[in-house]
Amino acid sequence: MSKQTLSFQAEVSQLLHLVTHSLYSNPDIFLRELVSNASDACDKLRFEALNDAALFEDTPNLEVRVAFDKDAKTLTITDNGIGMSLAEAVEHLGTIAKSGTKDFMSRLSGDQKQDAQLIGQFGVGFYSGFIVADKITVESRRAGLPAAEGVRWISGGSGDFEVENIERPARGTSVILHLREDKSEYLSHWKLKSIIGKYSDHISLPILMQKEEWDAEKSEYVQQDAWAAVNSANALWARSKKDISDEQYAEFYKNLSYDQEAPLAWSHNRVEGSTEYTQLLYIPAKAPMDLWNRDHKAGIKLYVKRVFIMDEAEALMPSYLRWVKGVVDSADLPLNVSRELLQESRDVKAIREGNTRRVLAMLEDLAKKDAAPKAAEGADGVTDVVSEEDKAAAEKDVGKYSAFYAEFGAVLKEGLGEDFANREKLAKLLRFASTQSDVVNVGLADYKARMKEGQQAIYYITADNLAAAKNSPQLEVFRKKGIEVLLMTDRVDEWALSHLHEFDGTPLQSVAKGAVDLGELQDEEEKKAAEAAAETFRPVLERLKESLKDKAQDVRVTTRLVDSPACLVVEDHGMSTQLARLLKQAGQ
C-alpha cells in the first residue's frame, strides 16, 4: 500500500495538543510507558504462541532494547513482541480505546496549570512519547506476517499521521523518538539507565542497552557493539514463595525500606478472585521516628504488572497500619492510575481490605507464637505432641509479638476508631499491664479467662504512668476483692477505649467512672452499710454538695474505697479526668 495520511480521532488530537502544549511535571514517565508497551507486546506474543509456537519464528528470547543516536538525536525503543499490522497501527495509535485515558480526558478542567499536573500524574500511554519528541516514527511487523507486510507510522503529534507498508524482517516494534531540541538530556546512557532503574527495574524481560566505554583519544564515552541488561528483570514478589530464601526476603526488605534491621515478619501471597494482585508485606522491627505524624508516608509501593506506579500508596493500607512496608502488584489497575483515582477504585478497596486482613493475621500469628511454650503444655498438664521442627520454629518467634507491641501497639489502637469491621480482631491484639502484671502482656482474652466468678465487667483505669495507675485510690476495693484491673498508660488509650465498649460479650468499665457496680461481687452487707451511711451522712453530703456547687456535680457515699477518705470520679458517660487533662494540655 502506498503512503496514506490519516487524521487522528478527535480525542487524540485534543490529547496531543495538551501533551505538547502543557508543561510536564515529570517528563521521565514517557520511557516507563513505552517500555511497558514493549513488555505488554512480548506478553501478548507469549500468550498467542501458546496456540501457535511458530509465532516465535527464530527469535524465542523476548527482550526490549533501548538505544540512542546522538547525531540523529533519536531515541529508539525496540521489542520483539507481537508487533502491529498496518490496520492495527492505524487503529491502536490513532484512536483512544483505553478507559483510563478517556477518564483522564473527562477530568480536564481547561486550566493549563492544573491539567498539566494531572497529565504528569496520569501518563497517557503511547502519546506520552510526544512529551520529549516532536516526531515519532513507529516501525513494526506483526508476528506471523511476512516481512513485506511491515508498517511505518509517522506523526508530528498534531492533527494527522502517515502510514505505509514497509519491508521489515524483524518481528516486533521499534518506536523512534525524534527528540525535541530541549530534550537532548535523554541522549545519555546514564540518564536512561537511571530512569529504567527507577520505573522498570522489575519488568520481567531484559531491557538491554549498548555498553559504553571511555575512549581516551576522543575523551568521551563511546557506545560498544555489545548489549547488556540494565534492569534486574527480577520481581522478587512475582516469583514463587518456595524459590525465595529468608535472606532474600530480608534483603528485599532492606532495599525497600532503607531500614538496616531485618523485618520481624512478612507475608507473601498471590490473591486471586475478582481482584487479582500480589502482596508482599513486612512488619518492621523498629518504629520510624515520625510514626506519630499522621502524615507519615504510607509504606506500600504500587506496581501494575511489574511496572512501578508509585511510592507511598496510602490508599492501599488503612492509616493505623501506615508503618507496614511492602509491595502490591495489581493485575487489574491501569498503568496511568493516579492517586485520586486510587481513592475511588473498587479494586483498590478490595486490595486494602485484603492487605488489612493479612497484616492482622500476621499479628495474630505472632501473638499466638509469643504464648507458644506455655500453650504447648496443655491446661490439663498433658503435653501436646509437637515436632522438634515446629517447636524450634515456634521458639524462634517467641517474644516477637511483645517486641512488636512495644513499638507499634499504640498506633494499632488507632484502628479501634478507624476500622470498625476489624474492631474485634484488633481488640484481641491489645495488650496491657494490670494489677497482676507490671509487664504489658495481658490480653483481653487472658483477662477474661481469669475473671472472678460473678464478675460482669472488664475493669480498667487510665493514668499518665504505671505508678500513678497503681496507686490510684480507685483501685482499693478491687484489690481487696482480688479483682484484676487493667492499667492503661498510653495517651491514646482513653480515646481508643471510647470506641471499644465490650470484648467478647463483656463490657469494659472504667473504675474511675460512675458508681462502680460490682454486681454479684458486692457483699449484701456492704451495700446495706453504705445505704445506711448515706442516710446518716445526708446532712454532711448536702453541705459538701452546696459548698462544692461549682466544682462537683454530686457527692456520694462510696464502697469503692478501703483506706482513702475520698476520691474523684466522673459520670458514667462523662469525659474521664485523664482525657480532660489531655485536652487541657492540648489547649482545648
Residue 355, contacted partner among Mg ion, ligand ADP, none, CB below 5-8 A by kind: none
- How near is the Cβ of 194 to ligand ADP at its closest, in Å? 22
CA-to-CA dists, residue 316 to 127, 156, 300, 449, angstroms: 28, 39, 7, 36
Alpha helices in 162-242 (DSSP H): 189-199
Nearest one of 300, 310, 299 to 337, comparing CA atoms: 310
Residues that bind Mg ion (CB under 5 A): 37, 125
Q: Read off the C-alpha cell for 406.
A: 512495644
Nearest-5° Cα angle at 348, 202 to 249: 40
For residues 41 to 60, the per-residue mask of contacts with ligand ADP, x marking binding by CB under 6 A and - elsewhere, is: x-------------------
Euclidean distance between CA atoms 198 and 32, whole angstroms: 9
Of residues 173-232, which lie at the interface with ligand ADP (CB under 6 A)? 173
Euclidean distance between CA atoms 328 and 300, whole angstroms: 7
C-beta closer to ligand ADP: residue 44 or 425:
44
Q: What's the chain's Rg over C-alpha atoms?
A: 33
Residues of the binding site for ATP:
33, 37, 79, 84, 98-100, 121-126, 173, 339
Residue 579, contacted partner among Mg ion, ligand ADP, none, CB below 5-8 A by kind: none
- How near is the Cβ of 42 to ligand ADP at its closest, in Å? 9
Q: How are beta strands 150-155 and 160-166 bridged, if at all?
A: antiparallel
CA-to-CA dists, residue 145 to 46, 83, 167, 169, 184, angstroms: 16, 10, 11, 10, 36
- How near is the Cβ of 125 to Mg ion at its closest, in Å? 4
Q: Is 333 in the site for ligand ADP (CB under 6 A)?
A: no
Select the residue interacting with ligand ADP from 28, 33, 329, 494 (CB under 6 A). 33
Q: Is 82 in the site for ligand ADP (CB under 6 A)?
A: yes
Residue 484, contacted partner among ligand ADP, Mg ion, none, CB below 5-8 A by kind: none
Euclidean distance between CA atoms 101 and 123, whole angstroms: 9
Select the residue interacting with ligand ADP from 125, 157, 263, 299 (CB under 6 A). 125
Select the residue interacting with ligand ADP from 12, 19, 49, 84 (CB under 6 A). 84
- How near is the Cβ of 333 to Mg ion at its closest, in Å? 13
Residue with cell 508497551: 37
C-beta closer to ligand ADP: residue 122 or 404:
122
Q: Which residues are CB-neighbours of 455 under 8 A, at least 6 positions away?
A: 483, 518, 519, 520, 521
Check: CB of residue 149 under 8 Å from CB of residue 86: yes
Q: Is 143 in the site for ligand ADP (CB under 6 A)?
A: no
- How near is the Cβ of 34 to Mg ion at its closest, in Å? 8
- How near is the Cβ of 294 to Mg ion at its closest, in Å? 36
From 51-59, 79-87, 386-394, 524-532, span contacting ligand ADP (CB under 6 A): 79-87
Check: CB of residue 214 under 8 Å from CB of residue 203: no
C-beta closer to ligand ADP: residue 79 or 484:
79
Chain CA centroid to CA 391, Å: 32
From 5-13, 37-45, 480-488, 523-531, span contacting ligand ADP (CB under 6 A): 37-45
Q: How are beta strands 207-215 and 220-229 bridged, if at all?
A: antiparallel
List interacting residues with ligand ADP (CB under 6 A). 33, 37-38, 40-41, 79, 81-84, 92-93, 98, 125-126, 173, 335
